Structure 1
Amino acid sequence: MVAKKREWRSGRRSVATKLVQMTRHLVVCEGTETEPRYFGGMKDALGPANGRKIAVVVRGSGRHTLDLFEHAEELCRIAPDPYNHVWLIFDKDDFPSNEFDLVERKCGEVSSSSCTFHALYSNPCFEIWPLLHLRYTTAPMDASSCQKGLVDALKREFNVEYRKNMDGLFSLVDSRRQDAISNVDKLDKHHKSIGNDRPSTMNPSTRVGDIFEELGPYLDKGD
């Protein structure tokens, strides 16, 4: 009788170890307080998935449009481990339209099969994203009127006084994230119908919700 080969003696295992590929995400915000606090809340909500299945790094920069893009590239160059996704969070505000629009093109140019850059712009400002969780609007606005709209909506819906740099904004509105995503889709169709095809002309609009295409499943189902 021929003895069966003992795989453990040859250094092999009969069952291959399943390797789980972690994806690494860098979130680089134009602001140093409001946006990093929001995405910090998202990071906290990811729970055990963050660090096990994904790794999320949030950075506030105080830089804008093309400076923000270049800063993100530098952060990638000096990072000890490569990122799979780089998310740029920036506003239109009063910045030149050509620079604002160019960030999206630059992100497309540097993206590769191993790392994707995403231009998560908001026009006029970041507050349009939480506002769209609570109501739909196509009315063009500046940053101050957008912030006032969010103040009024949060007061009406949650009896909460909104202020810049507040903690807890993510957890406060996230239960209505699907409403926001639906409202963003309707806004995109609205702008297309009237011929707006550049980020700088699409007021109001935002791409912040795109990050949840990657991270939403970890938030909605847990680890």
Structure 2
Amino acid sequence: MPKKAGTEKWKKKRRQEYLEMKQYRYYIFCEGQQTEPNYFLGFKKLIEENPIYKDMVLIEIEPCQAETMRVIGMAEDYVKKNEIQKGQVWCVYDKDSFPAEHFNGVEERANSLNRINPELQYHAAWSNECIEFWFLLHFAYYTANNHRTEYISFLNTKFKELGIGKYQKNMNDIFTILMEYGNPKLAIRYAKRIIKDGAGKTPTEIAPGTKVYELVEEMVKYLPEEFKYKFIDDVKNYL
């Protein structure tokens, strides 16, 4: 028993030392087990290969296999368990068929938590109704409030046109495909326009819509310059 307690104490100390090295910290909690984590792992991999930021940026991605309010609940539990006091906590989740009060409730809860500690801020990177809408915006400006099957059908057609097979959930290379064959720069611009047009509305009322672009913009700050231009115009002045 004493040996185990000593090991846990050592691990905790090593983690604390590791965290203190990181100036920028991101904790990403994804509703899905694979689709969203796979996408953001693309950013994480490139950032960890960037000699400028690899020792300064911490990115932890947690698949939750949970919906809306449970995602932010799991994020809160993780923060408490690991005694996290600084960084950005991002909840990535879909509307699907969940009740409006649950979908809207994540942003409301995040705003409430953000008043507690200015150095630890929660963010809601929602998609109404699914992450595929964010993927779709890499290829077209789209405002029709359709079921997720329509968005997947659109992606299937586009992938076929590009000669890259068929869109499937849980694709390991979705980040690379969207960056190389799509237009992330336009996706950000389109998503922002939709959110601006929905000013004053709740997340449920902005249909379709997504705030995933906000997390993407954070990740882009630390990409190697040869990849940044895919997402932004003014690479040299972006941070």
Give TM-score, length-normalised by structure 2. 0.78
Q: How does 1:32-111 map to 2 (within 5 A)?
A: 32-49=33-50, 51-79=54-82, 81-111=84-114
State how far apart, in whole Å, the 2-side matches of 1:215 and 1:74 are: 24
Deviation at 1:179, TM superposition (A): 0.7
Work out the CA distance in 1 between the residues paired with 2:170 and 2:211. 20
What is the distance in 1 between the residues matched to 2:57 and 2:189? 26
* Pairing partner for 2:205 from 201, 205, 212: 201
Q: Which amino acid aligns with 2:155?
A: L
Q: Following the alignment from structure 2 to structure 1, what is the Cα–Cα distance between the partners of residues 163 and 55?
A: 34
**Cross-structure match for 1:6:** none
Contact (CA 8 Å) 2:46, 2:224: kept in 1 or not?
no
Q: Is contact 1:24–1:82 with CA below 8 Å preserved after alignment? A: no
Cα distance in structure 1, aligned partners of 2:129 and 2:30: 15
Please state if 1:183 is matched with 2:190: yes
8 A Cα contact 2:129 2:208, kept in partner: yes
Given the alignment of the two structures, is residue 119 of structure 1 paired with residue 120 of structure 2, yes or no?
no
With over 3 angstroms needed to count, the CA separation of the structure-2 counterparts of 1:141 and 1:59, relative to structure 1, is same
CA distance in 1, matches of 2:107, 2:224: 28
Q: What CA distance in whole angstroms lies between the structure 1 residues aligned with 2:158 and 2:129?
A: 17
Q: CA deviation at 1:94?
A: 0.2
65-74 vs 145-154, which deviates more? 145-154
Q: C-alpha displacement at 1:173, in angstroms?
A: 1.0
CA distance in 1, matches of 2:77, 2:146: 33
Whether the 8 Å CA contact 1:124–1:146 is kept in 2: the answer is no
Q: Distance in 2 between matches of 1:143 and 1:154?
A: 16
Tell me the TM-score normalized by structure 1.
0.83
Unmatched segments (≥5 aa) in structure 1: 1-18
Deviations 1:111-147 (A, max 9, x none): 2311110100000101111110111111001122222
Question: Structure 2: 5+ residue runs without aligned partners?
Answer: 1-19, 227-239
Q: Secondary structure at the match of 1:127?
A: helix
Q: Mark the CA change 1:158 to 1:208 in structure 2 (over 3 Å): closer, same or farther.
A: farther
What is residue 134 of structure 2 aligned with on the other side?
Answer: 129
The answer to whether the 8 A contact 1:26-1:83 is kept is no
User: 4+ residue stretches of structure 1 with deviation over 6 A?
Assistant: none
For these two proteins, the number of residue pairs brought into alignment is: 201
Distance (whole Å) between structure 2 residues aligned to residue 133 and residue 120 of structure 1: 17
CA offsets 1:38-60 (integer angstroms, 9 cap, x no match): 11122112133464110100110
Task: Give the SS at the match of 1:38.
Answer: helix
Deviation at 1:154, TM superposition (A): 2.4
Match in the other structure for 1:144: 149
Deviation string 1:195-221 (CA, Å, 9 cap, x unpaired) is: x70101111100011013322121152
Q: 1:160 deviation in Å?
A: 3.0
Structure (1 or 2) with the larger CA radius of gyration: 1
Q: Which amino acid aligns with 2:148?
A: A
